[in-house]
Structure 1
């Protein structure tokens, strides 16, 4: 017993020593990391004192273990040194058992097992493969490319049809104010943003009970919203008008000043003295002074000889306004002829019925057609001919295996299933049956039949050709929006919707868009661009008008849709400096012309008002002719205080002595420079005294008397002229 106990102790000690120093431990923290069906089995590295460790991974499906009772596992990774194994080859819709162990030469650890992993349930949704942000006025267009299954390059949305996207955006500098929107479209627009502001955003897929990953941050700067505030327009307009008006007025007054200076230098104007202007203001005197020269000398004044005068011409322009009246031809509307239209009557004949079409006295319906448009299916036919009785119709359908012909018509090949009534198309009085509500598979093939009935009487059945929705459905034109950008046009294609308000892209997985564009006035230069994105940017020439339309097509189903409406738009670009200069000069010339026109109108109105209320002084012809001589202009400078001798020749008037004494004593002569004032205040004139002392002084006396009378005569004439 003692020996047995010792052997037992030795064996336990050896086993313990082997466990501590020689047993290879199993991998720890085994986990599955799966994103977009990229399945990576990961674990922590095993530390072993003998050397580097290798790992092996195996897997087994639930079906093989639970139903087939298989015990063997399939190899996933063998003798790898990394601490992860790519198991993307696993089927998406199947669950698996996974296990991993460590290996060193002939030593192996125990298996570390994951009991449950199903890719369709446990995989995570990764971030969108691409997020493109394009500014458009005060908005941002976000084009989303969904996450991709890297194993076969298919979109994850094909596996999860209810997946949507959450777009979170914020203004730079205000990261705490985050706004978000949810969309199920691959393109969305962020509206009501501030102009010229930078926004950042992230896009994250949203799937119920599924972990998802957001995209990286993408930023974009909005542009002007295209509208200028009214106050800015008014301020800019007023400022430009004031500047242009100031420039024009400065040019006008400078030109006027130069013109007057030059005109005064070469053509001096008449300047009447103030006493003449005041004299001309008196109506009674003005009428006498402006009389003809012959009457003026005889009636109002003594004869006066004017020696010299400086010429001052007065232009008197008589403006005759002749109004030419042009009689325009009056076109009188002629009589409208009466057009009589005669419309022929077209008799609608019934289609060929092919033999006996009456069964129980009710005809077979004709012209049975199936229309499929954007996944909306309808059956139409022509009404039967009848007299004063109502007819009802019944439509049935069943599945068929059809064979396509060259002309795309379908011939019945093999019948599958039984005839069934179409929902909502039994005993109807219409000639149309809506097949959309019927459970019609897009990839199936069907045939329909129709009959008419009235009471207990029915017609024979009329069968249609084989109908396959995936071949016969017609895709309508898409709706598009086109925005002009610098050297480009941005085309926004709106998603086609079916009758159930679902995207047609859920049925046509590989749908693409064909964009055909050309220059508006060069229709021969046509270019085509195909794209899978709903947001397409076309790099084009600046300041050029392009037209385009869009067509939807599917290469897999060999279907081409209808073209959208043609949209024409001009691209934008950087404005050249010469265009800015030309625009400024043209606007300046226009404003200059308008301003001069206004000034000219104001001047004409001023002249008319002044002429009506303040008529100008018009000199008679004889004065104008007189002033036209240069030597006579000194007369205008003559004043009453000037000496008559300076402008007149001496005039001798001889009177008798008695009369001279009497005449001279009755007048008080002005001071002529020859007067002597005595101490008593009396005035004496040396040449005005008559003396009988010496007879030798008679000649001098006569000369003195002549001089006095000449002065009196000139002074009297001058006083009469200036009174």
Structure 2
């Protein structure tokens, strides 16, 4: 058993030197460095650096991985090469997905580790190559045919319409001029016959903002002047539902024909000569104009060109004329509706064909009067919506309104004015407003007057209170009717005493007037010093007072009942000479002042 183990160990030790060179070679062979990829259109260039330390033959191999897959594929033309770069094309990959490359060094049976470059999307890393250019000369023009970059590849297959081009042309006695064509091929006109012109072209990707270098310069000579000049000044007019083509030509008795092509056919580079279509009504006409129905052109934008001929001799084609049907389509006048609302007019503008999108509306109005200045200078309103409210008009006045529509797009067009529509304004709200204002002012004045009077009374009461009589007089007035007393304003502060001598007045004299009684007693009065003794007061007893009251004339002041304990004989009350007082009301003798 030990012999077997010893033999196995001897074999392993003996085999070790044979395995070591491979492992040692992989460790000692350094991998490539600075791996980089350069792309132009569909052409790839893979580059790297390597430090050669051995004297042997070192080769390199590259692989790539496309998409999210884990499978590494061999790069064509990059297997076991001795250079540090390789060029190849990858037409089968998706240029919009991630791609990754890796490179390793090889020497005999030894290989280095792989050096993997960063992954990238080819579309965003690719550069644009200069376009290919083909020239065709005429006597006074050059046709420039441009082929887009990477025309047959996959990198720009979906991007052909994203390229713009710049043509740089120069020649003898012809300064350098740049032209940016939009349609192809581009015809550069107004050149000199038998003259050399050179040009170069570059492409620009509009979304990536990436441009190519200029193509190599191409030069060409214009031909000898043609016997028949080309038609010039091609114009188009509209007549009803037809186009009228007009042009000028230097010779008479010529035959002309016209062709057209849709704009979209010339929007991409290339040769589109086989896409021109003849205009039936403009074929072999001997006039410098022709009429063609609009139905002939089944698109909104197209090119026209005209050629002159005289037997077998023909001219070159004229300059191509771009026709946009929108420019030659007239805007119909709108329809308006006017509704009076008080002292204003509500105007609504509508189109006859209901196609008013993107239009601007204009309304003019004027007072329907014999004044020519107002009619010749109407007021105008412009809005982007069809509703107008014309305010601050005169009530019960006739106003006339017209409207039109305007287009502010590529072609500035204006329709004719609509039919005149006149309406009379309503009375308006001015009279009602004045009535409400007047009523409000009157109501406010009344309230202000009432408030002022109330304030005046209050102030008068505060600063000038009314005089209040003594309590005894106040009690008297509270019990006796006002008609039974005659109070006069005192002229002087003196006391008057009246003595009643005749108390035997017949009660039946009811018809005597109070005035007569007043005069009677006034005549019987006598003035005295005002001093009375107690004896005189005692001589008049309660009975005599009662008798006097019982015999007093009806309606006189003495006929009214008096409160108990208030009667006194011989009493006197201070007052004027003409002021009559009842002696029975005095409870205390009068005091001399």
Q: TM-score, normalised by structure 1?
A: 0.29
Greater per-residue helix proportion: 1
* Higher-Rg member (1/2): 2
Q: TM-score, normalised by structure 2?
A: 0.34
Bigger relative contact order (CA 8 A; separation at least 6): 1
